[in-house]
C-alpha cells in the first residue's frame, strides 16, 4: 500500500492524491504492448479551438467513442491539446473514427498509427525510487 510505503495514513494519501489529480500533477499509466494481429492502435492528436472546455470535451469523447477510446491524455505544457488513444480491429474502423472526429469542430486533428511503444523513465520515476 502507498500509505505503508511512504509512512503516512491512508486518509492522508487519499487527500494528497485527490489534490494532485485535481491539479493534473498525477499521471497513471500501465505498460501495454499490442500482441494480437487483428488490432489497430491510433492516437489522435487533437487541438481545441480557443475557449473550448477541455474537461467537458474529453468527457464527451469518452461518451461518444466509448467502444474504441482506451484513454485520453492532456498535457499541462501544451494548452488546448490532448490525445485520444484508440483501439480498433481494422484500419477502416480507425478511419471512420477520424472522419467522425472531423465533424466535431476541433481546430485540428492529426492521426498517428501505433506500430510499437517504448517506455522511458523520467524525473518522476527516478524521484519515486529515491523515496
Domain 40-114 class in CATH:
alpha beta
Question: Where in the chain are all domains bearing CATH 3.30.70.260?
Answer: 40-114
How far from 90 is each of 9, 10, 15, 27, 30, CA to CA, in Å? Answer: 47, 44, 42, 29, 23
Task: Tell me the whole-structure pTM to 2 decimals.
Answer: 0.65
Average of pLDDT values for 18-26? 83
What is Dmax (Cα atoms) for the chain? 51
- pLDDT for res 55: 93
How far apart CA 44 and CA 85 sit, in angstroms, is 6
Question: Per-residue pLDDT tens for 79-109?
Answer: 999 999 999 988 899 999 999 999 999 999 9
Amino acid at each position: 500500500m502507498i500509505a505503508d510505503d511512504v509512512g503516512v495514513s491512508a486518509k492522508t494519501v487519499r487527500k494528497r492524491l485527490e489534490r494532485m489529480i485535481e491539479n493534473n500533477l498525477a499521471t497513471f499509466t500501465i505498460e501495454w504492448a499490442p500482441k494480437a494481429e487483428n488490432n489497430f492502435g491510433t492516437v489522435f492528436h487533437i487541438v481545441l479551438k480557443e475557449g473550448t472546455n477541455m474537461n467537458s470535451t474529453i468527457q464527451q469523447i469518452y461518451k461518444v467513442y466509448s467502444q474504441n477510446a482506451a484513454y485520453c491524455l492532456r498535457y499541462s505544457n501544451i494548452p488546448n491539446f490532448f490525445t485520444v488513444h484508440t483501439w480498433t480491429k481494422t484500419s477502416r474502423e480507425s478511419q471512420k473514427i477520424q472522419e467522425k472526429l472531423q465533424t466535431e469542430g476541433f481546430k485540428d486533428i492529426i492521426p498517428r498509427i501505433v506500430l510499437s511503444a517504448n517506455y522511458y523513465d523520467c524525473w518522476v520515476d527516478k524521484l519515486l525510487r529515491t523515496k
